[in-house]
Chain A
Amino acid sequence: MVKFTKEMKEALRVPGKGGSLIYLCTSSRDGNPNIAAMRFVATHMDDKILIADMFLLKTKANIKENPDVAVTICHPLDEGRWWVFKGKAVDMEYGFPRDFDWYGANATDILNEWGNWNKAEPPDEVPPDIVFPKAVQRGVVVVHVEEAYSIEPGHVGEKVLEG
């Protein structure tokens, strides 16, 4: 079981709170990769990354057929946030059994705390020509992280977290 560092937990928050814009990388079951930027991000326990399901299309379809994902920092990189987190994801949508468990993360706990993310952490820092007019959240993607490697120039591929 991995354990996020303090720096990782600080980075894996919404940009408006000093966190990061992240890329969520998924793949279809037959290996068609997909990469999409995400703003609503948080950590849960010591080894889970949470991401709001607001506008997910291909990402959502991929997770439903293949749980293997990678999460990496898109911006800012220059603060030492050179990590790629790899693990297994599920999209905990409304309607999931409330006792659903994903590697120790409970659906009731997750949806109660993060189910109305736009209200809890509104995207005040997002530029007006990018911000969405209305956020409709359908669930929370929970990534159970199993390992992480570096993408820092000169150290690419080195393990920074290992289960």
Chain B
Amino acid sequence: MTVNLTDRMKAWIEAMGCHLCVATPEGVPFVVLGRYAEVTGNGEVAFALAQDEAKVIAPALSKNPRVAFGVSRQGGIRAAYQFKGTGELLRSGSVFDTIAAQAKEEKGIDAESVLLVRLTELYCTKPGYEAGQRLDGMSPEELDAWERQRWKDVPRKRD
């Protein structure tokens, strides 16, 4: 089932980048920053990774494709969501070429690989009674209305 993202969620992800968490099959977590992020399709997010960033998560990811991420910086509080899915490190192909070129142009990142995450789960992480509420069962219209009742702020894209 496709995980829908609202325009506001896309804006926060792309403006702030994300903290990416993977784990070994035995459950040892590793974290890196996805400094350049782009929502490439409904339910897919691509992150440009430099060589040293990819090197931290590649060993775990090669054995266990599950990825969890949250929005970096102010997004940790203003975009109170957790995104989960399966990740694949791309080192060639059209998605890699496009994202790597954009990451270079916009943020000066020399992308060695692109982490493409196909989302499978979406959770609210707002502290309180809604913490942990699963949102990926909502239709796009329901999700948009749910979010608009709570937040409308959209960040400016960072340099």
Residues of A within 8 A of B (CB): 21, 23, 25-37, 39, 54-55, 57-58, 62, 66, 68-70, 72, 74-77, 84, 86, 126-127, 129-133, 149, 151, 153-157
Supply 5 A–B pairs (Cβ within 8 Å), ascending by A.
A31-B26, A36-B70, A66-B27, A72-B31, A156-B56
Check if A27 sits within 8 Å of B27, measured CB to CB: yes
Known: A58-B132, A133-B128. A37 touches B70 (CB 8 A): yes
Q: Smallest Cβ distance from A56 to chain B, in angstroms?
A: 8
B24-35 Cβ-contact flags toward A at 8 Å (1 or 0): 111111111101
Known: A37-B125, A156-B53. A74 touches B27 (CB 8 A): no
What residues on A are CB-neighbors of B52 within 8 Å? 154-157
Residues of B within 8 A of A (CB): 19, 21-33, 35, 50, 52-53, 55-56, 64, 66-70, 72-78, 80, 82, 84, 109, 125-128, 131-132, 150-151
Please, which residue of chain B has its CB at the minimum distance from the CB of A77? Answer: B73
Known: A68-B28, A69-B29. A36 touches B77 (CB 8 A): no
With most chain A CB atoms within 10 A of its CB, the pick from B26, B31, B64, B84 is B31
What residues on A are CB-neighbors of B23 within 8 Å? 27, 31-33
What residues on A are CB-neighbors of B72 within 8 Å? 74-75, 77
Q: Smallest Cβ distance from A105 to chain B, in angstroms?
A: 21
Check if A37 sits within 8 Å of B68, measured CB to CB: no
Check if B125 sits within 8 Å of A36, measured CB to CB: yes
Check if B70 sits within 8 Å of A23, measured CB to CB: yes
B128 interface neighbour in A58, A75, A132, Cβ under 8 Å: A132
Known: A37-B80, A72-B31, A75-B73. A31 touches B64 (CB 8 A): yes
Check if B73 sits within 8 Å of A74, measured CB to CB: yes
What residues on A are CB-neighbors of B125 within 8 Å? 36-37
A157 interface neighbour in B27, B56, B131, Cβ under 8 Å: B56
